[in-house]
Structure 1
């Protein structure tokens, strides 16, 4: 059987999280050690370590069957590839920013101005949609310095925490799009490769579900089981086990990470005691 070729970023903000995801899926991944092509020992996978900006082209050409890239790059390059799954890490936004001295957030500020960016296609589309006429200066890197050296009146760039903008005397004024890491697929994969992709996708989904949820164990008086069970956002229904203490039971269930504290507060008010929260390694259904 031919190997499934997966393109990942060789270095940068996506590299570590991408490799961790694959390792959490049970793949014995080698980190590369300056190699551009590495075979996975326990699954028919070949990893291609590539420059981030090259991954969409490799996937579109079919040189890589699937890849992990930032959604923002996919939007910028407009390649003919399919997003299979959003992965929940490397979240950022592409935003407009101006010098701190500028006291307006209105888009009209950019009318007739110069904007430096590494995302000229994305910016051009946004400006056209909002009927703003501005001069776009495409820059490969260090976009934040452009206003300070008189090259531009503002910038359009990736923002995560906003610290880089702050350090360069800039502030964010408008979010153009939000992005995160995505798993993408070539349109040129054959049926054998598609079967392998389905297996990889199944494992990734199990890992991502586990990351989004927590396992919860709690004790509750028997007369309050029904009320407590209604609070738990479970897959089917909670597991109920009798305790040695007469009139009490232990409930086991799953709660979503983003709803964690709201659910915990509601459970305590409903009479739940001795709550124990446990991380989930994999979640398969």
Structure 2
């Protein structure tokens, strides 16, 4: 039976988040600690554990069909590879960082400077866009040490919390791009593998919708229902059920978690009571 071959990062935060979402979509993986390849027990899927920087080439060559990978890595090494879905985790930035004592007003301050980076293509695109000429030092790993040893005036690297920059006497000067984990597909994927990918993608979208939503149940007087319905449109419209208490109804709906507190405040102001909010595991449309 044909299996969909998917690459994930061998170790690190992206690995952990990738395995977590595969578990959420109901895929059980028999995985030994030192294995470089593992098969799912209940879905036609085979996982390859690879170095993050190598994954774009595996996609281009068709060695794997799809991958969960950082968008920043695709921009650097595989800009021609299609993204099927943005996954909303493992967020980071690719940023310019300079010594804390240095001044930075705009990208023009990089003119003629030495920049250390592991992302030469990304940096060159940024420099060309801003019509800047600078000297690149390509370093794999520990980029943040370059200004301290006199190798560079600035660096361009991944920034998550900023703690590594702080420890090395650097500060973030400008964000070049923002990145998150994405599901990327090989240009050489077969029709059979694409059919399996469609099933996986359907499950992923259901989980992602659930993560972005909250299920809300509330009680409201009937004369306030029209106003509350305008606040809670839900997917199509809220569910409205009569209560044993005369003149009152129960409303059920879904809200975006990013709008959660604003919506709750507005509901209370318009007569809603007994508001119950529940997480959503999956939301299938």
Give the TM-score normalised by structure 2. 0.98
* Cross-structure match for 2:283: 283
- TM-superposed deviation, 1:259: 0.7
Q: Distance in 1 between matches of 2:188 and 2:177?
A: 29
Change (3 A) 1:75 1:62: same
Q: Distance in 2 between matches of 1:21 and 1:29?
A: 12
1:116 and 1:156 in contact (8 A); partners too: yes
Q: Distance in 2 between matches of 1:26 and 1:107?
A: 46
After superposing the two structures, state which structure 1 stretch, 22-31 or 252-261, moved more: 22-31
- TM-superposed deviation, 1:242: 1.4
Q: Distance in 2 between matches of 1:218 and 1:10?
A: 45
- TM-superposed deviation, 1:85: 0.5
* 2:25 is equivalent to residue 28 of structure 1: no
Structure 1 segments of 4+ aligned residues over 6 angstroms from their partners: none
* Cross-structure match for 2:63: 63
* Cross-structure match for 1:180: 180
* Cross-structure match for 2:37: 37
Q: Distance in 1 between matches of 2:105 and 2:119?
A: 20
Change (3 A) 1:79 1:175: closer
CA deviation vs aligned residue, 1:51-76 (integer Å, no higher than 9, x gap): 11111111111110000000100000
Q: Distance in 1 between matches of 2:81 and 2:103?
A: 41
- Give the paired residue count: 285
After superposing the two structures, state which structure 1 stretch, 159-168 or 264-273, moved more: 159-168
Q: Distance in 1 between matches of 2:30 and 2:92?
A: 27
Specify every segment of 5 or more residues in structure 1 that has no aligned partner in the other structure, as ranges: none
Q: Distance in 1 between matches of 2:81 and 2:235?
A: 33
* Cross-structure match for 2:224: 224
1:19 and 1:31 in contact (8 A); partners too: no
- Any idea what SS the aligned residue of 1:125 has? helix
CA deviation vs aligned residue, 1:139-195 (integer Å, no higher than 9, x gap): 100111111111110100011111111111111111111111000111212221111
- Any idea what SS the aligned residue of 2:5 has? strand
- TM-superposed deviation, 1:79: 4.9
- TM-superposed deviation, 1:271: 0.8
Q: Distance in 2 between matches of 1:55 and 1:107?
A: 31
- Report matched runs for 1:131-150 at 5 Å: 131-150=131-150
- Report matched runs for 1:153-232 at 5 Å: 153-232=153-232
* 2:82 is equivalent to residue 82 of structure 1: yes
Q: Distance in 1 between matches of 2:186 and 2:142?
A: 31
Q: Distance in 1 between matches of 2:11 and 2:229?
A: 46
In angstroms, what is the RMSD of aligned CA positions?
1.1
Q: Distance in 2 between matches of 1:106 and 1:220?
A: 53
After superposing the two structures, state which structure 1 stretch, 184-193 or 77-86, moved more: 77-86
- Any idea what SS the aligned residue of 1:42 has? coil
* 2:257 is equivalent to residue 252 of structure 1: no
- Any idea what SS the aligned residue of 1:105 has? coil
* Cross-structure match for 1:263: 263
2:108 and 2:130 in contact (8 A); partners too: no
Specify every segment of 5 or more residues in structure 2 that has no aligned partner in the other structure, as ranges: none
Q: Distance in 2 between matches of 1:197 and 1:226?
A: 42
- TM-superposed deviation, 1:252: 0.5
1:57 and 1:79 in contact (8 A); partners too: no
Q: Distance in 2 between matches of 1:275 and 1:218?
A: 4
- Any idea what SS the aligned residue of 1:14 has? helix
- TM-superposed deviation, 1:103: 2.6
